[in-house]
C-alpha cells in the first residue's frame, strides 16, 4: 500500500518554471484545499519545480520527486532568492548599530513588507542585531507571482476542418458610406448653432482630500544563527540598561555603542561611557535626529552628558573605533544644503571634540578619522567649537566667583 501511495505522489511531467520556498516551513498538500492532507513539508530556500497552475495554487515537485500543491504567494522567484542572498552578504559587512530585544514572538520577513513571506521567527525576549532601516508605504497584499507559461496543447484538426480551410472565401464587402450630415457632425460645440447645443453634465464636486498613505518603519536585522531579514521597528527595543533608558525623554533609541569603561571604586562597579542616537516620534526616512555622548561621573555616581547634538538629519551607519587611546566615532548627517557629510569626533577623557568633517561617499569608502588628528579640514566648524568652549569657560569662572 505504501508503494502505491508513494508512486501516486510522483509526477514526471516537464517543469514549467522553478521557484523557491519562502516561509520557514511550507506544507505541500494532496489537493488545492488548504484542509487537504499534507504530503510532505519543505523548508525555506528549497527549489521546487512547477508542473501545473490553477488559480492561485501551484502544483510543485521537490528535488526528491514528491509532488503537492502550495499557494503561489508562499513561493519566491529566482530573482527574489538571489536578492535575499545578496542582502545577507551586504548585511554581514555592515557595522552593527546595536543589539535589540523583541517584545513578543517576532516574524522575520524576506522583504520590508507585511505581505512578504516570513522565513524565521525570534522568540519573545530574543536578541537581534540591527544593521539597517527603511521607511516604506504599507502593503497589505503581496503582488502576484509571474505565472509560468502554460503547457502547449496539441490541437488535432479534423478532416472536415482541413477541407473547409482549403475553400476560397468571398472578398470583404465595401465599407459603408458616411452619413449625409457628416460635415455638421464634425463641427465643435462652439461652431454649432445654439439650438443644436447639448449641455454638458456638471463637473463632480471635489470631495475631501485623500488620506495620507500608511507607512511602516522596518529594521534590517541579523539573528543569532546568522539569518538576515526585515522586522517592524515597533516590535523591537534597543537593549540598554534601565538606568540609561530614562534619559531617552520619550525618543526612540536607534543605535548605541560602548565608548569606554570606568571603574567606580565607591560602588565597586564597572560602568560604561555610551554613545547613542535617537529619533522623535513618528515615521521618518532618516535614522536619527540627535546624538549624545554619556560619561559616568565617579563623584556624583551618575551618568552625565559630555556632548549632545540635536536637530540633525542623520543616517546609518554610525561607526566607532575604540582601538586607539582616544575613542573615535563618526556620524553621517545632512549639511545646510541637504548633502550628507561625515563628522568625526574624538573623546579625550573629559570632552568630545570634532576632528574632521568631509563629504560622505555613499559607496562606504569613508573611514573614521584617527584620534591623532589635531587639525580640522572644516575651518568654520573649528571656530564654532572654539567659541562654545570659550563661553563654557566664562560661565564656569562666573560661578566660581
pLDDT per residue over 224-260, tens digit each?
Answer: 999 999 999 999 999 998 888 888 988 999 999 999 9
Q: What stretch(es) of the chain map to CATH 2.30.30.40? A: 2-76
Q: Please state the rounded mean pLDDT for residues 84-98.
A: 93
Q: Is pLDDT at 2 greater than 50 in this prediction?
A: no
Q: Please state the rounded mean pLDDT for residues 210-222.
A: 92
Helix (H/G/I), strand (E/B), else coil: 148:
coil
Check residues 289 and 205 and name the one with the higher pLDDT: 289
pLDDT at position 384, please?
Answer: 44
The sheet that has 75-76: what strands, in order across it? 38-43, 25-29, 67-71, 57-61, 47-54, 17-21, 75-76
Instruction: Identify the burial level of 98 via C-beta atoms within 10 angstroms of its C-beta, where 0-12 means exposed, 13-18 middle and 19 or more buried.
Output: buried
106-109 and 118-122 strand pairing: antiparallel
Lowest pLDDT segment from 131-140, 146-155, 252-261: 146-155
pLDDT at position 155, please?
Answer: 62
pLDDT at position 56, please?
Answer: 86
Q: Which residue has the cell 587639525?
A: 375
Predicted structure pTM score: 0.73
CA distance 30 to 20: 19
Phi, psi at 162, each rounded to 5°: -65, -35
Q: Which residues pair with 135 in a beta bridge?
A: 217
Tell which CATH architecture fits domain 2-76. Roll (2.30)
The average confidence (pLDDT) of the chain is 82
Q: How many helices (H) and strands (E) does the chain have?
A: 6, 22
Task: Write the pLDDT tens digit of every residue in 379-400.
Answer: 334 344 444 555 555 554 444 4
Q: What are the Cα distances from residue 118, in Å, to 107, 141, 219, 281, 375?
A: 6, 14, 14, 27, 50
pLDDT at position 3, please?
Answer: 43
The set of cell numbers assigned to 68 is 503537492
The set of cell numbers assigned to 180 is 449625409
Amino acid at each position: 500500500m505504501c508503494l502505491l501511495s508513494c508512486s501516486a505522489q510522483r509526477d514526471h511531467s516537464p517543469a514549467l518554471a522553478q521557484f523557491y520556498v519562502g516561509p520557514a516551513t511550507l506544507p505541500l498538500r494532496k489537493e488545492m484545499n488548504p484542509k487537504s492532507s499534507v504530503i510532505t513539508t519543505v523548508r525555506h530556500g528549497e527549489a521546487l519545480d512547477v508542473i501545473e497552475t490553477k488559480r492561485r495554487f501551484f502544483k510543485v515537485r521537490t528535488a526528491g520527486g514528491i509532488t503537492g500543491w502550495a499557494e503561489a504567494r508562499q513561493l519566491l522567484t529566482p530573482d527574489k532568492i538571489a536578492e535575499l542572498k545578496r542582502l545577507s552578504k551586504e548585511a554581514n559587512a555592515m557595522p552593527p548599530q546595536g543589539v535589540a530585544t523583541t517584545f513578543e514572538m517576532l516574524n522575520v520577513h524576506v522583504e520590508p513588507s507585511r505581505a512578504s513571506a516570513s522565513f524565521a521567527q525570534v522568540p519573545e525576549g530574543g536578541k537581534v542585531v540591527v544593521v539597517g532601516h527603511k521607511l516604506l508605504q504599507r502593503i497589505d497584499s503581496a503582488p502576484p507571482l509571474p505565472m509560468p507559461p502554460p503547457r502547449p496543447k496539441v490541437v488535432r484538426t479534423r478532416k472536415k476542418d482541413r477541407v473547409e480551410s482549403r475553400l476560397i472565401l468571398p472578398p470583404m464587402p465595401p465599407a459603408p458610406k458616411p452619413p449625409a450630415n457628416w460635415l455638421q457632425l464634425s463641427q465643435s460645440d462652439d461652431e454649432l448653432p445654439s439650438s443644436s447645443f447639448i449641455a454638458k453634465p456638471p463637473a463632480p464636486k471635489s470631495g475631501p482630500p485623500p488620506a495620507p498613505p500608511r507607512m511602516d518603519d522596518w529594521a534590517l536585522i541579523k539573528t543569532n544563527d546568522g539569518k538576515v531579514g526585515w522586522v517592524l521597528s515597533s516590535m523591537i527595543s534597543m537593549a540598554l540598561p534601565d538606568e540609561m533608558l530614562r534619559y531617552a525623554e520619550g525618543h526612540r533609541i536607534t543605535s548605541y555603542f560602548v565608548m569606554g569603561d570606568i571603574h567606580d571604586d565607591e560602588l565597586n562597579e564597572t560602568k560604561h561611557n555610551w554613545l547613542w542616537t535617537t529619533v522623535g516620534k513618528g515615521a521618518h526616512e532618516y535614522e536619527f535626529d540627535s546624538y549624545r555622548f554619556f560619561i559616568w561621573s565617579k563623584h556624583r555616581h551618575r551618568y552625565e552628558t559630555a556632548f549632545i547634538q540635536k536637530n540633525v538629519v542623520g543616517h546609518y551607519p554610525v561607526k566607532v573605533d575604540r582601538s586607539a587611546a582616544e575613542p573615535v566615532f563618526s556620524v553621517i548627517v545632512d549639511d545646510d544644503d541637504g548633502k550628507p557629510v561625515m563628522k568625526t569626533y574624538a573623546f579625550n577623557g573629559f570632552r568630545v571634540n570634532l576632528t574632521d568633517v568631509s563629504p560622505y561617499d555613499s559607496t562606504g569608502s569613508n573611514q573614521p578619522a584617527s584620534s591623532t588628528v589635531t587639525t580640522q579640514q572644516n575651518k568654520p566648524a573649528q571656530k564654532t567649537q572654539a567659541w562654545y568652549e570659550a563661553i563654557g569657560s566664562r560661565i564656569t569662572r562666573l560661578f566660581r566667583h
